[in-house]
Amino acid sequence: MPHDMKPALAGAAAELGLALTETQLDQLLDYLALIQKWNKVYNLTAVREPQAMLTQHLVDSLSLIPALRRHAKGQAMRMMDVGSGGGLPGVVVAICDPSIDVTCVDAVAKKATFIKQVAAEIGLPNLHGEHSRVEALDTAPFDLITSRAFASLLDFTTLTRQHLKSDAIWLAMKGQHPAEELAALPSDLDVFHVEQLQVPGLDAQRCLIWIKPRA
User: Would you state the pLDDT for residue 85?
Assistant: 85
Per-residue pLDDT in tens (0 to 9) along the chain, 215 residues: 567 899 999 999 999 999 999 999 999 999 999 999 998 887 777 777 888 889 999 999 999 999 999 999 999 999 999 988 899 999 999 999 999 999 999 999 999 999 999 999 999 999 999 999 999 999 999 999 999 978 899 999 999 999 999 999 999 999 999 999 999 999 999 999 999 999 999 999 999 999 999 98
Residue type, 215: A
What pLDDT does residue 149 have?
Answer: 77
In this prediction, residue 80 carries a pLDDT of 98
* Cα→Cα distances 4→15, 20, 26, 29, 49, Å: 19, 17, 11, 9, 14
Asked whether 86 and 44 are in contact (CB, 8 A), the reply is yes
pLDDT at 48: 76
Contacts of 99 (CB under 8 A, 6+ apart): 72, 74, 75, 76, 77, 126
Per-residue model confidence (pLDDT) at position 107: 93
Distances (CA, A) of 48 to 43, 61, 156, 191: 10, 17, 27, 35
Cα separation, 146 vs 150, in Å, equals 9
pLDDT of residue 41: 80
- CB 153 within 8 Å of CB 87: no
CATH fold of the domain at 64-213 = Rossmann fold (3.40.50)
